[in-house]
Amino acid sequence: MYQIPAMTKLINELTKLPTIGPKTAQRLAFYLFKLPKEEACKLAESIVEMKEKISYCKRCFNIAEGEICYICSDEKRSDNILCAVAECQDVIALERAGSFKGRYHVLHGVISPIDGIGPSELKIKELIKRIKEYSTKEVILATNYDIKGDATALYLAHEIKPLGVRLTRLAYGLPVGSDIEYADKTTLLKAMEGRREF
Ligand code: ZN
């Protein structure tokens, strides 16, 4: 459309990003064009560096630089208590609240038959294995309070309860349908402290 292939290519790539439509992509592309070359290159380099250095933690499936993430490597944290979350962003949100001193397990999604996501697509087998291998005493289910989050929590309860560990879920202080990822610090702190048997 511009007869300028390099610009068209950049706009096409930006349009693939979430929440970025064609107009925003065009605005961003021109913004980047006007930036000093070093500034634009810093952005490009940081994307390449992130892709080269970051992968998933072999233990909890959170993002990590290296094999094991900083939370799994922290000796001050307790192995006795595991908090199961849907996405890595939920770890960041709960860490910001700051009260939880156990370990996490990132499921990488929630059960959603309509999207073809069943339990085997999630890191549930790995969670069960961890519960058995470590001396886990409590598992906190920290999925969102919506249909998919509830279905996932119920499935996990069915799998985990027979193992004889305490099972809790974040308290209902979290608004129904809201994302843990976007909840504020105080809400998450209360949800964690007020967690109940599930
Ligand atoms: Zn980890």
pLDDT for res 178: 67
Tell me how far apart the alpha carbons of residues 105 and 57 are, in angstroms, rounded to a whole number.
10
Instruction: Evaluate if pTM is beyond 0.85.
Output: no
pLDDT for res 182: 81
Cα of 164 to ligand 1 centre, how many Å? 24
CB environment 170-182: b (16+ within 10 A), e (fewer): beebbeeeebbbe
pLDDT for res 90: 94
Tell me how far apart the alpha carbons of residues 162 and 65 are, in angstroms, rounded to a whole number.
35
Torsion, Cα 167 111 127 61, to 10 degrees, reads -120
| Residues 103 and 70 sit within 8 Å (Cβ to Cβ) | no
Domains of the chain: 1-34 (1.10.8.420), 77-197 (3.40.1360.10)
In this predicted model, what pLDDT tens digit does every residue of 79-132 receive, in sequence order? 999 999 999 999 999 999 888 999 999 999 999 999 999 999 999 999 999 999
Cα of 73 to ligand 1 centre, how many Å? 7
Cα of 128 to ligand 1 centre, how many Å? 15
Cα of 160 to ligand 1 centre, how many Å? 20
pLDDT for res 173: 63
pLDDT for res 33: 96
Cα of 144 to ligand 1 centre, how many Å? 21
- Give the residues of the chain that fall short of pLDDT 50: none
Cα of 7 to ligand 1 centre, how many Å? 39
| Residues 184 and 157 sit within 8 Å (Cβ to Cβ) | no
